Amino acid sequence: MGKRVLIISTSLRRNSNSGMLAKEFARGAKEAGNEVRLISLRGKKIGYCEGCYACQRLGQCIISDDAIKIEEEMFGSDVLVYATPVYYRGISGQMKTLLDRVNPRHCGDRKFREVYLLSCAAKNETNTSKNIMEALQGWIESFEGVNFAGMVFCDGVNEPLEIEGNSKLKEAYEMGKSV
């Protein structure tokens, strides 16, 4: 049996371009024999970290919402994949909120060792891909033994489904197959 792969699509838009990258990555990873789960944050309720540090004492967040179940999926997976639209040269707010909420688990048990990033932007302004990679890299570095494994960045797509026919979809598929 292959690896357990969790893909988290953070766009709240229907037919999002980053969501399409996520689906192609999932297709490739499944074809390679991996167990793949795709979770969309669309429709999920995820509250902001309140900075209360109760998680440090309790080992879990005191906010009861969808982040709790997603966190369990994350930490039980071998591979994490984040798909995000780019907003103002950065990862989506929903993605950042989720990353902040898994703070209680930084010192706890986890299976994942590889993290991938899939992202789409309307424009490719100077350092856009570098900025989003660095935002995720900061989170990854808080976990010992976890590596940034790869990224697909597609610029020039804004409207829903605009990525159709773009070579970046094949790139995401191939990256998924290589997991």
**CATH number of the domain that 32 lies in?**
3.40.50.360
Neighbours of 113 (CB within 10 A): 14
The reported pLDDT for the residue numbered 138 is 87
Which of residues 112 and 41 earns the better pLDDT score? Answer: 41
Q: Rounded mean pLDDT of 152-176?
A: 94
Q: Rounded mean pLDDT of 36-62?
A: 91
pLDDT category of residue 127 using cuts at 50, 70 and 90: confident
Q: Rounded mean pLDDT of 6-29?
A: 97
The verdict on residue 85 lying in a domain is yes
Q: Rounded mean pLDDT of 131-151?
A: 89
Quick: pLDDT tens for 85-112: 998 888 999 999 999 998 766 656 678 8
The verdict on residue 62 lying in a domain is yes
Q: Rounded mean pLDDT of 54-79?
A: 89
Q: Rounded mean pLDDT of 153-163?
A: 91
Per the structure, the count of domains in the chain is 1
The verdict on residue 49 lying in a domain is no
Q: Rounded mean pLDDT of 74-89?
A: 93
Token pair, residue 64, equals: 């009861």
Distance CA 43, CA 46 (A): 10
pLDDT above 90 for 66: yes
The verdict on residue 113 lying in a domain is yes
Structural domain containing residue 81: 4-44+54-177
Amino acid symbol at 132: I
